[in-house]
């Protein structure tokens, strides 16, 4: 992601409907994880300034930002977050160090996404959790993807194959931004660049209401604009001493 896109994200994300709902999804997942144990170490790959990392911190996680962009690292550090410059394909971090790894809208930017997925698995402790989001469906490919630096959009099958091929076990895989997919598809036929932009307060409130309603409707198996995965690294097998 270019420095200008990162700065735009940081400027908008606290009030923009899309980012706010994604943070709400993350918070729900963190609450569920809390029921199975205390927060531990978390890594936020490609954090773009640390909007989601702040959610991790608020929920008690010892969080670290790792981003390829120096701009993102500087912005995250300016928000009081720990952040390092790192390539997602070759993280300068120890094996099995993290209890949780986030990669929100990261893999689609990387040609060698298998290497990045492999690094997610490597730095996760056995039994640790990965939360991953990607844009879905090449039918939605548009100038927005080009401006955002995307290499691809995924299907359920390609995403599942990528992650399981690197050793992750998928706990859940679901669609997000389903209700607004027709609006997004129509808009992107005519877009000339990224559609991450300021909206009026009224429009922002209306879109927020639609995306929030999705929490309560049985639409997660339908086609959306994004895919979300919760997965884990398999625990180490126990060795019998008998």
CATH number at residue 126: 3.40.50.150
User: Using one digit for the tens of pLDDT, what is the confidence trace for 35-74?
Assistant: 888 799 999 999 988 999 999 999 999 999 999 999 999 9
C-alpha to C-alpha distances, 173 to 85, 97, 225, nearest whole angstrom:
29, 25, 14
Residue 201 in this model has a pLDDT that exceeds 60: yes
Q: In terms of residue numbers, what domain contains 84? A: 3-232
Average pLDDT of the segment spanning 10-33: 93
Nearest CA-CA partner of 145 in 85, 193, 198, 110: 193
pTM of the predicted protein model: 0.93
pLDDT band at 240 (very low <50, low <70, confident <90, very high): low
Task: Kindly state the average pLDDT of the residues 174-180.
Answer: 97
Residue reference for tokens 């639609």: 210
Q: Is 41 domain-assigned? A: yes
- Is residue 239 situated within a structural domain? no
Q: Report residue 16's pLDDT band, with 50, 70 and 90 as the boundaries.
A: very high
Gap between the Cα atoms of 78 and 80, Å rounded: 5
| Structural domain includes residue 224 | yes
Residue 240 included in any domain: no
Confidence (pLDDT) at 192: 74
* Residue 190 scores a pLDDT above 90: no
The token pair at 231 is 């997965």
Query: Do 89 and 63 meet the contact criterion of CB atoms below 8 Å apart?
Result: no
pLDDT in tens, 67-124: 999 999 999 999 999 999 999 999 999 999 999 999 999 999 999 999 999 999 999 9
If one counts the domains in the chain, the total is 1
Does the residue 96 lie in any domain? yes
φ, ψ dihedrals at 206, nearest 5°: -65, -45
Sheet holding 41-45, edge to edge: 83-85, 62-67, 41-45, 98-104, 124-135, 226-232, 169-176
d(CA 196, CA 170): 30
Domain assignment present for 241: no
**Calpha distance 67→14 (Å, rounded):** 20
145: in domain: yes
Residue 49 falls within a domain, yes or no?
A: yes
Using one digit for the tens of pLDDT, what is the confidence trace for 109-167? 999 999 999 999 999 999 999 999 999 999 999 999 998 899 999 999 999 999 999 99
**How large is the average pLDDT for residues 187-216?**
88
Q: Which residues contact 191 (CB under 8 A, 6 or more apart)?
A: 142, 143, 144
């Amino acid at each position: 992601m270019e420095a200008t896109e990162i700065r735009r994200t940081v400027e908008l994300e606290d009030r923009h409907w899309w980012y706010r709902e994604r943070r709400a999804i993350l918070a729900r997942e963190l609450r569920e994880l809390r029921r199975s144990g205390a927060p531990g170490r978390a890594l936020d790959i490609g954090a773009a300034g640390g909007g989601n990392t702040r959610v991790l911190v608020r929920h008690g996680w010892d969080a670290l930002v790792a981003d390829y962009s120096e701009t993102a690292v500087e912005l995250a550090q300016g928000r009081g977050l720990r952040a390092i410059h790192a390539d997602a394909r070759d993280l300068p971090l120890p094996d099995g160090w993290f209890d949780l790894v986030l990669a929100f809208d990261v893999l689609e930017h990387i040609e060698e996404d298998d290497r990045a997925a492999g690094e997610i698995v490597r730095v996760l402790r056995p039994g640790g959790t990965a939360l991953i989001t990607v844009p879905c469906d090449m039918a939605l490919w548009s100038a927005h993807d080009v401006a955002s630096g995307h290499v691809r959009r995924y299907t359920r099958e390609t995403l599942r194959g990528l992650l399981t091929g690197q050793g992750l076990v998928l706990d859940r895989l679901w669609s997000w931004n389903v209700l607004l997919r027709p609006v997004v598809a129509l808009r992107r036929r005519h877009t000339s660049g990224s559609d991450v932009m300021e909206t009026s307060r009224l429009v922002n409130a209306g879109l927020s209401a639609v995306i929030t309603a999705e929490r309560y409707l049985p639409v997660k198996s339908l086609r959306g604009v994004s895919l979300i995965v919760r997965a884990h690294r398999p625990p180490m097998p126990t060795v019998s001493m008998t």
